[in-house]
Each structure stands twice: as C-alpha cells, then as structure tokens.
Amino acid sequence: MAAQTRAPGSEKAKKLKKREYDEDDVRIRPGKGSRPRTRIRPAHEEAVSGFVVAVDRGRYTCLIESEGEKGRRRKKDQLEGATMSGRVVVAMKARELGRKGIVVGDRVALVGDISGMANTLARVVRVEPRTSMLRRSADDTDNTDGIERPVVANADQLVIVTALADPPPRPRMIDRMLVAAFDADIEPMLCLTKSDLASPDELVSLYAPLGVPYVVLQKGATLDEIRERLRGRISVLVGHSGVGKSTLVNALVPDANRAVSHVNAVTGRGRHTSSSAVALELPDGGWIIDTPGVRSFGLAHVSVETVLAGFPDLLEGSIQCPKGCNHLSEECALDAWVAAGHADPARLVSLRRLLASREGTPDDDHPVEPESPSG
C-alpha cells in the first residue's frame, strides 16, 4: 500500500481556514428598552419641602420647613397664611432637572445636606407645580428674541408701586404691568406713594374703569391698610426705580435692610438699588417678594386674546370682529358693541390703552403726565 503523501502547504492552509462563529462570539447591542442607562429617575420620597427665597448665580437659598413637616408637602394656604418656621439652606439644581428654571417663589424638594451649616450644599431634585408665573420679555422690538423670562412663581398678588411725584407716574409702564398680571392670572393692586407731594385723584380716576384696587401712602402715615391687603398672601412688588419700593419693604419688614437711593435731579430717574428678587416673610403672615426696579417691561409673549380675557363685558362683542382683529383699527366691532350699550365706553378706552402698550412701541423712557380717562 503506497504511503499517502501530504500536499505541501496543507498545514499552513489548515491554519488559515476561516473560523466558524456561533452566537456566543457575536456582541449584540442591547435595544433601547434594555439599555443599562434609563430615564427613570428616583422618586426622592424622603425629600424635604422648601420655599425658594433668593437666587444667585446657580445657588438657591431655600427656607425649609420645621422638623415635623419633613417628607410631607405643605398645603398652599399653610405656606401663605402662617409663619414658616425652619432654617435656611443653600442648594444647587440636580442634573436630572436639566434646563428647567428655578425662580424666587418656587416650591421645591430638597435632598442631600440640609443642615444649613456653612459650606454645605443641598440639591433641588423637584420643582412642584406652579399656581402662577409672572413673566416679562427682554424687549418688544424686532431686534430681540422676544423670549419670555420668568420673574416670580406662585404669587397671587401683583403690587404695582408708583410714585405720584419725584419721579412722576408713568401710566404706560403701569399699563404694561397690568397686562403682565392678566397674563399670569395674578390679582393686581396699585400702591401710590408720595401722596404728600401730589394728589392721587387723577391717576385713580384713570384706572377706575379697570376696577383695580389701590392704596395711597405718604411719608409718616400709617401702613395699616396695605398691611391688611398683604396679610396671608404672596405678593410681588414691581415698579420702576425711585418710587420708594425698597423704603416700603423696609417699613413692612424691619429686618429686611433693603438698600434705598434718591431720584436723580437731572434725569428724573431712580437708581437700581435692589439687584435681585428676594422673598421676605411678613410679621403678620404672608410674603412679599421685592424685585429690582425696571425701566421697561416687555410683553412680546402676551397675546391679544389674553388681554381681552380680562374684559369679560367686551369679550362677547369681539365675536363680531374680523379675523385677526387687533381691536385697535376702525374695523373693530367693539365700537358698535359699546354704542349699543352693552359695555361702558371707558372700559373700551382702557382695553385699547392696554393693547397699545403691548404693540411694541417704545416704552416711556421719559416721565409722562397721567392721561385722562377720556383721552
């Protein structure tokens, strides 16, 4: 029997033979439903409830509730109507909140180091649903983004502080703030300061058709009326610089120590002394939120329908208006509605004044004398 001879290179060919793979050799990427990373976040059931009283460069100063309230959500009326005992904690925003903004007035859930000691930092892991949000735009002109900026959360009263003189009142600014209140579903109130320098009658009559409540203050007089209107509520104070807002805050909250300044005799404007919003607890219950003085209040984010909703006596008449009516043109059907006796003519004048204030016209950079209701 002849010996079998192996072909040259057969050993090398065997080594180069293609390997046979099975399922254990194949790495299969897991599907979306089975990836280790998940969007399911921890519930943080043991988180402590807090109230944001100040915001400064990514750090949130919160007042947390007393030990007996830990882990339980406090009701809104308890927070507003009672003195909130607790301690001050500085916190940062947790990563899972993403780009969600946090503003003064927010109710939040806190975890981590909530001792409140120096050099400690807690984490805000949840922002509770808001009851209201006061917003403003940076500007109304076409050269800006018109994006709304949140100012204060969960306020239920907007106190528009304006001086009757030094500096003189600016009705267009007041109108814009009223529109912002209607948009946020916050009850507005006029606070007229420096009545010892000028009479409030003309300005009061201007806003009488809107039914806006008001208080009149003067130097050295009692603050009982405004204290009563603020008691048990979360009120945000807004106004342009120099109207006496910080002075009022210091009188209402003796330990506030808010900086004050005087009006420039040349420009007639005040100086920005409050640099950031801060919530202050009132001795008799409730909160006031002092905001920096403003020289403009953009309303690019507010629609015509939102403003009109604040005038239920005119809302029905707007059904007959042409599509896209801005209620400022001659084609508007509201003139006929008022002529037929369905609404007070002064109400239509007020509506159009508010609508004109959000139209993007330049804000009142210079002091303006109050207008008459008929004008």
Q: Which residues are annotated as a binding site?
A: 193-196, 239-247, 321, 325, 327, 332
- Looking at residue 293, the DSSP 8-state letter turns out to be -
Q: Cα-flanking dihedrals φ and ψ of residue 173, to 5°? A: -65, -40
Which residue, chain included where needed, has tokens 């109230």? 51
User: How much is the CA Rg of the chain, to the nearest whole Å?
Assistant: 31
Residues 6+ apart with CB under 8 A from 197: 163, 164, 165, 166
From CA 375, how far away is CA 370, in angstroms rounded? 10
Residues 6+ apart with CB under 8 A from 255: none
Q: Which residues are annotated as a binding site for GTP?
A: 193-196, 239-247
Q: Cα-flanking dihedrals φ and ψ of residue 3, to 5°? A: -70, 135
Do 260 and 193 form a contact (C-beta atoms < 8 A)? no
Q: Cα-flanking dihedrals φ and ψ of residue 255, to 5°? A: -90, 10
Please state whether the peptide bond connecting residue 171 to the residue before it is cis, i.e. omega within 30 degrees of 0: no
From CA 258, how far away is CA 251, in angstroms rounded? 10
The pair of structure tokens assigned to 354 is 């508010």
Listed residue (301, 180, 177) closest to 239, CA to CA: 177
Alpha helices (H) in 114-233, listed in sequence order: 171-184, 201-207, 224-230
Q: Which residues are annotated as a binding site for Zn(2+)?
A: 321, 325, 327, 332
From CA 370, how far away is CA 207, in angstroms rounded? 10
